[in-house]
A and B are shown apart, each in its own frame.
Chain A
Amino acid sequence: MIPVEYFFILSGLLFFIGVFGFITRRNLIAMLISVELILNSVDINFAAFNRMLFPNGYEGMFFTLFSIGVSAAESAVALAIIINVYRHFNSDQVNSIENMKL
């Protein structure tokens, strides 16, 4: 069986790729995709921990299902807002949506 550390490393990698993407990408859609990566790493963690370490219950699996559902709802709202931003600014680049400044 694959040891749990491998899943942990995979999810850690995914998480930091997501964080790195969120910080460096200048495109709203790409930032949203990076956030999805973070959420996927969380799902991997929960599923792997549940299967490998605590196989007596299904708490982690349930959490994964809920987290997938909620992140879908979140990205629906985020996409709607990004479309609204695009209508106003004709761009989805972070640098160009700076209407408010100090």
Chain B
Amino acid sequence: MNYNDFLKMIPEASLVAILIILFVSDFVTAKKESRKWFNPLACVLLFINTILCLTITSSENAFEGMYVTTSSVNIMKAILSMGTFIVVLQSRVWAEKSGKEGEFYMLIVSTLLGMFAMMSAGNFLMFFLGLEMASVPLACAVAFDKHSKNSAEGAAKFILTATFSSGVMLYGISFLYGACGTLYFEDIAANINANPLTIAGLVFFFSGLGFKISLVPFHFWTADTYQGAPTTVTGYLSIISKGAAAFTLLSILFHVFSSMVEYWHVMMMIVIVLSITIANLFAIRQNELKRFMAFSSISQAGYIMLSAIGNDWTNSVSSLSYYVLIYIVANMAVFTIISVVEQNNNGKTEIDDYNGFYKTNPKLSFLMTIAMFSLGGIPPFAGMFSKFFVFMAGVNGADINTKMGVWAYAVVFIALINTVVSLYYYLKIVKAMYIKHSDAPLPTFKSDNNTKFALAICTSGIILFGVCSYIYEWIAAAA
């Protein structure tokens, strides 16, 4: 083994360093008063990590192909690192109130480490270890609120489905091993051909990752877990965990199963249509905002995976990364506001609580409106551009004269119609805030500086990331 290979894993090494720094500083400051600097420390460290990820542009291949990075992986790492930075930034009040902020930041950083390892895996063993490293601490984070019934229930559902899905996924990987005799992505791609064994392997493997992305036939845990988890963790689950898993699924489909493309195209099309449509229908009838956001995130997962039905890797991966970037800022804006309101409303997150929100908190409701518009895809905001690029990637290379090409166009068209449906329920929140009258609206409250800063980042992202074409071009150039 060549020890110099460790030097190629800079993002992972930096996350390990962050973990150690956080652990030691948690250890040496036992007193509660001296912990004021703990959140700023974590924020600064994650910010440095983001910058570090941005500076790495080289493609590396370490440990005989176990660990592979390309520039698109590096960009995705930077995006996820930025998302984690926002999550940690806005979590300050909640984390300090829980009294266990050290553990929370360590759990979050270790899941991020697992996701980084998963994204840059070049072998199914490495991929599996990264996936588990991401999902086990995440279960602890969901169960973080030890005194809440909902948190315990959500965590139980999460960990059971996570272990079940990873078991199913491993069964699929064992089929692939049996068919190809190797676990390296490159060697599998060279040896694989479509036969019943590999198709079964593909389906099992896909259902395992489908659980993590919460696509529709595998989405049953999502609503309960999202509702039960602490709001900050819900935000983290819905953006970072989902984005990393979606990126990995896309890259494995394109790089490992490249010779079985007609099989997984059909599979993805069915799953995408189901995810978007069913999640939209369920989201309409939700009264609980976090549950509502859970169904919204299932439908957004369908949109993210639209990029997988395209034929061009560069186009697909850049549109997926861009979509995840926009989704991170829009969703984090929503979850930051939910978190602020929850803290001032005795932990309640019903949609009806937002009635008359505009009268008492005009600024927050304005930001919420922008975020909802972006999630729904209304033009001046970034969400519209991300949806546009994903649709474009979905029909990329689709030939209208062939059956598959027609289906690709049909799927994108169904997704387009569903955008209109989704506008209805996103605007329901806006209607509650601006139009509906309430006898006892929420009191006017001032948020702390961290929340303000996080909201400022998210809002400027929503407004600027779409208009500045430079960002998409930068992602596309690197992919």
CA distance A63 to B166 in the complex (A): 14
Question: A81-B143, A99-B153 are contacts. A70–B128 as well, Cβ < 8 Å?
Answer: yes
Contact indicator A49/B171 (Cβ below 8 Å): no
Main secondary structure of the interface of B (DSSP, over half): helix
Chain A interface: which of B2-10, B144-152, B262-270, B309-317?
Answer: B144-152
Ordered nearest first, which 7 A-B pairs have the shortest CB separation? A38-B167, A45-B174, A42-B170, A54-B181, A49-B178, A78-B159, A35-B163
B438 an interface residue at 8 Å Cβ cutoff?
no
Given A59-B182, A74-B166, A77-B139: 15 more A-B contacts, CB < 8 Å:
A32-B163, A35-B160, A35-B164, A38-B168, A45-B178, A50-B177, A60-B177, A66-B128, A74-B132, A74-B162, A81-B143, A88-B152, A89-B149, A100-B227, A100-B228
Contacting residues, chain A, for B175 (C-beta < 8 A): 45
Contact indicator A84/B132 (Cβ below 8 Å): no
Return B27 CB to nearest CB of chain A, in Å: 22
Q: B129-163 vs A: 1/0 string, CB under 8 Å?
A: 10010001001100100100110111110011011
B62 an interface residue at 8 Å Cβ cutoff?
no
Question: Which of chain B's residues has its CB closest to A64's CB?
Answer: B174
Partner of B136, one of A15, A18, A74, A89: A74
CA distance A98 to B174 in the complex (A): 35
Contacting residues, chain B, for A102 (C-beta < 8 A): 285-286, 291
* B residues apposed to A, CB below 8 Å: 124-125, 128-129, 132, 136, 139-140, 143, 146, 149-150, 152-156, 159-160, 162-164, 166-168, 170-171, 173-175, 177-178, 181-183, 223-224, 227-228, 285-286, 291
Instruction: List which A35-72 residues lie within 8 A (CB) of chain B.
Output: 35, 38-39, 41-42, 45-46, 49-50, 53-54, 59-60, 62-63, 66-67, 70-71
Contacting residues, chain B, for A46 (C-beta < 8 A): 174, 177
Contacting residues, chain B, for A87 (C-beta < 8 A): 152
Contacting residues, chain A, for B174 (C-beta < 8 A): 11, 42, 45-46, 49
CA distance A77 to B167 in the complex (A): 16
CA distance A54 to B428 in the complex (A): 58
Question: Which of chain A's residues has its CB closest to B290's CB?
Answer: A100
Contact indicator B140/A97 (Cβ below 8 Å): no
20 contacts between A and B (CB under 8 A): A22-B160, A31-B160, A38-B170, A53-B178, A59-B182, A59-B183, A63-B124, A63-B183, A70-B128, A70-B132, A74-B159, A74-B166, A77-B136, A80-B143, A81-B159, A84-B146, A85-B155, A85-B156, A99-B150, A102-B291
Contact indicator A45/B171 (Cβ below 8 Å): yes
Contacting residues, chain B, for A19 (C-beta < 8 A): 168
Contact indicator A49/B168 (Cβ below 8 Å): no
* Number of A residues, CB within 8 Å of B: 46
CA distance A62 to B425 in the complex (A): 49
Return A29 CB to nearest CB of chain B, in Å: 11
A73 an interface residue at 8 Å Cβ cutoff?
yes
Contact indicator A70/B129 (Cβ below 8 Å): yes
Contacting residues, chain A, for B155 (C-beta < 8 A): 81, 84-85
Contacting residues, chain B, for A88 (C-beta < 8 A): 149, 152-153
Return A91 CB to nearest CB of chain B, in Å: 11
Contacting residues, chain A, for B183 (C-beta < 8 A): 59, 63
CA distance A22 to B153 in the complex (A): 17
Contacting residues, chain B, for A63 (C-beta < 8 A): 124-125, 128, 173, 177, 183
Return B433 CB to nearest CB of chain A, in Å: 23
Partner of A66, one of B125, B162, B163: B125
Question: A49-B178, A59-B183 are contacts. A100–B171 as well, Cβ < 8 Å?
Answer: no
Return A13 CB to nearest CB of chain B, in Å: 12
Contacting residues, chain B, for A54 (C-beta < 8 A): 181-182
Contacting residues, chain B, for A22 (C-beta < 8 A): 160, 164
Question: Which of chain A's residues has its CB closest to B175's CB?
Answer: A45
Return A96 CB to nearest CB of chain B, in Å: 10
Contact indicator A97/B177 (Cβ below 8 Å): no
Question: Which of chain B's residues has its CB closest to A71's CB?
Answer: B163
Return B283 CB to nearest CB of chain A, in Å: 12
Contacting residues, chain A, for B227 (C-beta < 8 A): 100
CA distance A87 to B164 in the complex (A): 24
Question: A73-B136, A102-B285 are contacts. A85–B153 as well, Cβ < 8 Å?
Answer: yes
Contacting residues, chain B, for A28 (C-beta < 8 A): 156, 160
A17 an interface residue at 8 Å Cβ cutoff?
no
CA distance A8 to B183 in the complex (A): 19
Return B307 CB to nearest CB of chain A, in Å: 30
Contact indicator B160/A49 (Cβ below 8 Å): no
Return B83 CB to nearest CB of chain A, in Å: 24
Partner of A35, one of B167, B223, B228: B167
Return B347 CB to nearest CB of chain A, in Å: 13
Question: Which of chain A's residues has its CB closest to B225's CB?
Answer: A100
Question: Which of chain B's residues has its CB closest to A14's CB?
Answer: B171
Contacting residues, chain A, for B160 (C-beta < 8 A): 22, 28, 31-32, 35, 78
Contacting residues, chain A, for B173 (C-beta < 8 A): 42, 63
